[in-house]
Amino acid sequence: MKQYLQILKAVSEHGFHENGDYVIPSAIIQHHFSTGFPILTTRRLDYKAEVERVQAEILQSMAIGIDNFGYSQSMDHYYFRIGEQLNLQVSLFHTDFFRDVPKALVYNAIMLLALCRECKLIPGMLTISCSKVCVKGEDLQSIRQQLMRKPKDLPDFGFTNWENIHEWEPNIQNYTCFPTL
């Protein structure tokens, strides 16, 4: 998650001011799952809330049809397969980088891992492209504190009690992090 921290630093230090926020035009984070599960270690993140969102999204998508799978007004998803590898490209629009991107990383990582498990594919690359990246001026103190922390190793993610894409429980191993800011 070094990319996240580098972008967070760039936005907070070099972003132009717009209505009390610090803004840069765009940013990209790429994560390959061979390096671990993409969750912040420089502050605690409530990953269980994101797991519940993924599970609810899967159930809702099955009820309304696969064409709407993973759709939201602030986020576009593009899954693509290369050989046995499934990759995910996510586009975020006008993004609060400090508050929203860590949740988007976890949410989309879990979604990709669940689809890979169900389809017997290998998770590949998760790419998050953000346009109009901002941080709120009120978050600068917390951001500075977070940037002073040394990231820890990324945890591993797995599934327990996997029945199918509708019935499973998350299993995050070795998640050590700093406290919430």
**Residue range 51-83, pLDDT digits in tens:** 998 888 877 766 554 444 444 445 677 888 889
Classify residue 60: in a domain, yes or no. yes
Classify residue 162: in a domain, yes or no. yes
Task: Report the first-to-last Cα separation within the chain, whole angstroms.
Answer: 17
Give me the helix-helix angle, 101-119 and 47-64, nearest 10°.
50
Classify residue 179: in a domain, yes or no. no
Classify residue 181: in a domain, yes or no. no
Collapsing DSSP to helix, strand or coil, 180 comes out as coil
What was the pLDDT predicted at 166? 84
- How many domains are there within the chain? 1
**Cβ–Cβ < 8 Å for 149, 108:** no
Residues in the chain: 181
What was the pLDDT predicted at 57? 82
Classify residue 104: in a domain, yes or no. yes
Closest CA to 178 of 4, 42, 46: 42
CATH of the domain at 111: 3.30.572.10
What was the pLDDT predicted at 66? 47
Output the six-digit token pair for 1. Answer: 């998650």
Classify residue 16: in a domain, yes or no. yes
Classify residue 100: in a domain, yes or no. yes
Classify residue 15: in a domain, yes or no. yes
Output the CA angle 165-168-170, nearest 5 degrees: 120
Tell me: the pLDDT tens digits for 110-125? 999 998 999 999 999 9
Question: Which parts of the chain have pLDDT scores under 50?
Answer: 65-73
Burial of 110 (0-12, 13-18, 19+ CB in 10 A): buried
| Other residues' Cβ atoms within 10 Å of the Cβ of residue 101 | 21
Give percent of the chain above pLDDT 70.
Answer: 92
What was the pLDDT predicted at 63? 58
**Cβ–Cβ < 8 Å for 145, 77:** no
pTM (two decimals): 0.89
Q: 52: domain range?
A: 2-173
